[in-house]
């Protein structure tokens, strides 16, 4: 009896598919945060409304930087699959720098909000905003730390079955975070301009 | 090992994905800064651009929908998308309904 060929049976495929399942659960987690934000976004309690608080050109740069990093990590992943370790390291390194830049810009923006009296304690809108953007930022921070560990193991071992698996998980994680940011940019920042 | 028709080693899909994503980001940014989302059509348009960009990146960056049978990546994604749709849509629906009925 010949059924469909089972292409999910080797260690690589099982790990990658398992990691994909994790990303989908994260998708549900962020879905709930988006739902909360959508419900609470008008509850500013007399504070600064989103269209005054957000600086769209600043966020546009953040968005383009994170998109660029999703592109460079894709390049790194492609070179890793071609077993070109040094080129893969280069592109993962560029991704790391872009990620640091993104996180720095985000931290600066959130610090500006808090300094201007718009902390997460000030209204339901700000609570849901800080939860959503803060969780995304925490994922980015975790991803950057993880990337350092993976780059160390690639520098030591080169592209092996194990490091290729790690690099691919890292690439999927990062590109998934960029897809989430597309929704943060659209729903939180762009739609914040709705009166 | 490669279920994705060579897209894991190819850089061309990445170039296409990057260029199309930049165009979509700038388009939605332009709509918002120029027209200020004054009607429902513009709001829906900007939201649609975001959805298109997300799908585009799922295909060109994460290679969703390129695998052969059995389509486990696609099936699990569609099921999760359904769950998210129910959770988010249901929350917004029930909360706006509650808000409407509790108006003073």
Query: Could B14 and A39 be called an inter-chain contact, meaning their C-beta atoms sit closer than 8 Å?
Result: no
Of A5-9, A149-153, A164-168, the least confident: A5-9
The mean of the pLDDT values for chain A is 92
Residue A162 to residue A167: CA distance in whole angstroms: 9
A8 → closest Cβ in B29, B72, B83: B72
Give the structural domain span for A30: 6-36+53-193
Nearest to A159, CA basis, from A95, A92, A86, A93:
A86
Mean pLDDT of A84-113: 96
Per-residue pLDDT tens over the stretch B5-45: 778 888 899 999 999 999 999 999 999 988 877 788 888 99
B58 in the same domain as B93: no
Do A191 and B47 lie within an 8 Å CB cutoff? yes
Across residues A69-75, what is the average pLDDT?
Answer: 96
Is residue A41 in some structural domain?
no
B23 touches chain A (CB under 8 A): no
- Asked if B63 and B78 sit in the same domain, the reply is no
Residues of chain A with C-beta less than 8 angstroms from the C-beta of B37: 190-191, 193-194
Do residues B6 and B53 both lie within one domain?
yes
Confidence of residue A7 (pLDDT cuts 50, 70, 90): low
Which whole number is the average pLDDT over B57-86? Answer: 91
Are B2 and B43 in a shared domain? yes
How many domains does chain A contain in total? 1
Using an 8 Å CB-CB cutoff, list chain A residues near B10: 78
- Binding-face residues of A in 111-170 toward B, CB within 8 A: 168
Nearest C-alpha neighbor of A63 from the set A190, A195, A163, A165: A190
For the segment A57-75, the average pLDDT, to the nearest whole number, is 96
What average pLDDT does range A16-38 have in this prediction? 95
Rounded percentage of chain A residues whose pLDDT exceeds 70: 95
Average pLDDT over residues A177-183: 97
- Using pLDDT thresholds of 50, 70 and 90, give the confidence band for residue B61: very high
**Within 10 Å of residue A164's Cβ, how many Cβ atoms?**
19
> Nearest CB to A21: which of B37, B76, B92?
B76
Q: What is the pLDDT of residue B39?
A: 82
Considering the domain boundaries, does residue A63 fall inside one?
Answer: yes
Q: Could you list the residue range(s) of the whole structural domain that residue B34 is in?
A: 1-67
pLDDT at A115 over 70: yes
pLDDT > 90: percent of chain A? 84
Buried b (16+ CB within 10 A) or exposed e, B1-34: eebbeebbeeeebbeebbeebbebbeebbebbee
Q: What is d(CA A28, CA A121) in angstroms, rounded to the nearest whole number?
A: 25
B92 vs A21, A39, A183: nearest CB: A39
Is A3 a residue whose pLDDT tops 60?
Answer: no
Please give the share of chain B, as a percent, with pLDDT higher than 70.
97
| A128 assigned to some structural domain | yes
Which pLDDT value is given to residue B69? 73
Q: What is the mean pLDDT of chain B?
A: 90
Q: What pLDDT shows up at residue B1?
A: 44
C-alpha to C-alpha distance for B82 and A137, rounded to whole angstroms: 26
Q: A28 and B80: CB-CB below 8 Å?
A: yes
Chain B contact present for A29, CB below 8 A: no
Q: Is residue A45 part of a domain?
A: no
Q: What is the ipTM of this complex?
A: 0.91
């Amino acid at each position: 009896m010949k059924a469909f060929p089972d292409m999910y049976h080797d260690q690589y495929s099982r790990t990658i598919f398992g990691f994909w399942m994790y990303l989908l659960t994260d998708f549900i987690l962020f879905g709930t945060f988006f739902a909360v934000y959508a419900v609470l976004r008008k509850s500013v309690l007399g504070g600064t409304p989103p269209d005054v608080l957000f600086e769209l050109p600043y966020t546009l740069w953040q968005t383009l930087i994170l998109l660029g990093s999703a592109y460079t990590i894709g390049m790194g992943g492609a070179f890793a699959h071609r077993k070109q370790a040094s080129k893969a390291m280069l592109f993962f390194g560029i991704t790391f720098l872009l990620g640091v830049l993104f996180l720095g810009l985000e931290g600066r923006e959130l610090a500006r909000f808090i300094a201007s009296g718009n902390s997460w304690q000030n209204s339901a809108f700000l609570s849901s905003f800080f939860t959503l953007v803060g969780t995304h930022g925490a994922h980015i921070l975790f991803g950057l730390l993880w990337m350092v560990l993976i780059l160390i193991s690639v520098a030591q071992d080169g592209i092996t079955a194990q490091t290729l698996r790690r690099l691919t998980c890292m690439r999927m994680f990062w590109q998934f975070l960029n897809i989430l940011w597309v929704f943060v940019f659209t729903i939180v920042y762009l739609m914040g301009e709705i009166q | 090992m490669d279920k994705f028709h060579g897209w894991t080693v190819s850089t061309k899909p990445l170039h296409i994905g990057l260029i199309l994503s930049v165009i979509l980001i700038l388009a939605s940014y332009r709509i918002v800064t120029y027209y200020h989302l004054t009607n429902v059509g513009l709001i829906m348009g900007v939201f649609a651009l975001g959805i298109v960009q997300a799908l585009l990146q799922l295909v060109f960056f994460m290679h969703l929908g390129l695998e052969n049978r059995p389509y486990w990546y696609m099936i699990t994604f569609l099921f999760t998308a359904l769950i998210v749709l129910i959770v988010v849509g249901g929350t917004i629906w029930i909360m706006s309904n509650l808000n409407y009925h509790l108006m003073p």
